Homo-oligomer: A and B are copies of this chain.
Amino acid sequence: MESAERINRLLNYKTFLYQLRSLGFIKVFSDNIADALGISASLVRKDFGVFGIVGSQKGGYEIEKILEKIQEILGKDTVQKIIIVGVGRIGTALLEYKKGFDKEGIKIVAGFDIDPATIDPEAEIPVYSTSLLYDYIQDNHIQFAIVSVPESAAQQTLETLKAAHIYGILNFTTLRLKNTEETIISNINIEHELSRLIYFVKNR
């Protein structure tokens, strides 16, 4: 298994190469990618080597081939079903951001909330009562969840998800969580991102 940093770069390569392709480019050199992402060309080539992406000497790399390989590495052959727990401001934004996720093989299949005003089982992406969460996960073999409940409900929600044997959680609450044996937890903390940005600007 590769490092998180390497996978990050892989995702960045992908995004950049999609852009290049849409501009009509067919081939690309490690140098071009390096410049675009602000890293060294040898790191690009090393990454490609690790992932089994080969180019031709003098001719560079075929964009189409790289992209295929990246999708394969990321396991994008199968669609991943995801649920959202806490359909408030952030949760709704994500729920409605269909096209962006769909085209990456990520399908948000349902939301869960305690607020009766938010619950709507008939919507295109249904929003159910949280009381149904555990059973829904079991019945539909859900492996991934996004957590965007208020802080106060975070711990409880996490426990339920773990009990239901969810494999991966994207956590938007500030409750910082460690991976467990079974569940990988990825924390997004927007306040941290801002604070870090401010730090680097101030210490530039």
**Is A58 at the interface (CB under 8 A from chain B)?**
no
Query: Inside 8 A of A38's CB, which chain B residues have their CB?
Result: 178-179
Contact of A168 among B36, B89, B201 (CB under 8 A): B201
Indicate whether A82 reaches chain B with its CB closer than 8 angstroms. yes
Count copies of this chain in the complex: 2
A26 proximity list for chain B (CB < 8 A): none
Cβ-based interface call for A117 (8 A): no
Interface-facing stretch out of A40-48, A59-67, A134-142, A182-190: A182-190
Contact partners of A36 in chain B: CB under 8 A: 176, 178
Interface residue from B75, B146, B202 paired with A75 (Cβ < 8 Å) = B202
Residues of B within 8 A of A8 (CB): 192, 196
CA–CA, A104 and B189, complex, Å: 13
Q: Once the chains bind, are B197 and A193 in contact (CB under 8 Å)?
A: no
**A128 on the B face (CB < 8 A):** no
Known: A75-B202, A179-B38. A197 touches B191 (CB 8 A): no
CB distance from A24 to the nearest CB of B (A): 18
Report A109-162 residues with CB < 8 Å from chain B CB: 143-144, 146
Chain A to chain B contacts (Cβ below 8 Å), 28 pairs: A1-B200, A4-B200, A11-B189, A11-B195, A15-B174, A15-B176, A37-B178, A73-B199, A74-B195, A75-B198, A75-B202, A80-B194, A82-B194, A89-B93, A89-B97, A90-B93, A101-B194, A144-B194, A144-B197, A144-B198, A144-B201, A146-B194, A167-B204, A168-B197, A168-B198, A169-B197, A186-B193, A188-B190
